[in-house]
């Protein structure tokens, strides 16, 4: 039996069973359509934002300020948007256990919730160096509110990091000033002791005397 005969046999078999094949195809299409109609519709809410420069929080002249942040500032925002701290805030703020109908007391409740949230909450960097934050939900108003709250929380956490960093810098400067003040006092005390030991207090008059 050659290849042409094999193909002919297949076509003959398909022709004989054409009614069954058509019925099966219609059934699959009908079931698929029915399932699609039964599934809830999900709406996506997006918010786009850019990394601001930390210079905006510093008391410098306007000419010296940079408006947009660097790549590291963008990476910091992206990390915050994906952080567990932000997800914990969203879970608490929007009562996601109840909203997604997940038992918070079950052994794998938190794992299920994080998996669910991971599918419906997404962040990505755009080609124009922005953060695209998206939330999906069956309630479009809920999705929009959650996306806006997430963006606001990202901003709050980013500002908190900047303020903490500035506080650390200020604390370091204060310590440096305190250390130098202590050292200056040590030098003054040492100089005073030397003058006292050698009875040198009026350097100008003693210089004239030696002259």
What six digits make up the tokens of 102?
């997940």
With a pLDDT cut of 90, the percent of the chain lying above it is: 33
Provide the pLDDT for residue 210: 47
With a pLDDT cut of 70, the percent of the chain lying above it is: 72
Instruction: Reply yes or no on whether the pLDDT at 10 is more than 90.
Output: no
Q: What residues does each domain of the chain span?
A: 3-37, 41-170
Average per-residue pLDDT for the chain: 79
Length of the chain: 211
Provide the pLDDT for residue 149: 95
- Where is pLDDT greater, at 18 or 128? 128
Instruction: Reply yes or no on whether the pLDDT at 34 is more than 80.
Output: no
Structure confidence by residue, pLDDT tens digits, 49-95: 887 766 555 655 555 666 555 777 788 889 999 999 999 999 999 99
Q: For the structural domain made of 41-170, what CATH number should be given?
A: 3.30.1890.10
**pLDDT band at residue 40 using 50, 70 and 90 as cut-offs:** confident
Structure confidence by residue, pLDDT tens digits, 110-166: 999 999 999 999 999 988 888 999 999 999 999 999 999 999 999 899 888 777 767
């Amino acid at each position: 039996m050659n290849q042409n005969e094999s193909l002919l046999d297949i076509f003959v078999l398909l022709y004989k069973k054409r009614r069954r094949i058509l019925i099966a195809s219609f059934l699959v299409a009908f079931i698929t359509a029915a399932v699609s109609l039964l599934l809830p519709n999900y709406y996506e809410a997006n918010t786009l934002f850019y990394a601001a420069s930390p210079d905006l929080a510093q008391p410098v002249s306007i000419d010296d300020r940079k408006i947009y942040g660097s790549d590291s500032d963008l990476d910091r925002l992206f990390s915050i948007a994906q952080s567990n701290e932000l997800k914990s805030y969203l879970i608490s703020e929007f009562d996601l256990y109840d909203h997604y109908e997940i038992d918070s007391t079950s052994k794998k409740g938190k794992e299920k919730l994080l998996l669910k949230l991971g599918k419906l909450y997404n962040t990505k960097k755009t080609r124009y160096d922005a953060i695209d934050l998206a939330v999906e939900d069956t309630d479009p108003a809920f999705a929009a509110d959650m996306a806006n709250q997430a963006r606001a929380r990202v901003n709050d956490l980013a500002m908190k990091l900047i303020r903490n960093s500035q506080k650390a810098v200020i604390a370091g400067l204060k310590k440096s000033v305190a250390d130098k003040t202590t050292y200056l006092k040590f030098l003054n005390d040492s100089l005073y002791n030397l003058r006292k030991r050698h009875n040198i207090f009026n350097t100008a008059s003693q210089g004239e005397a030696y002259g």
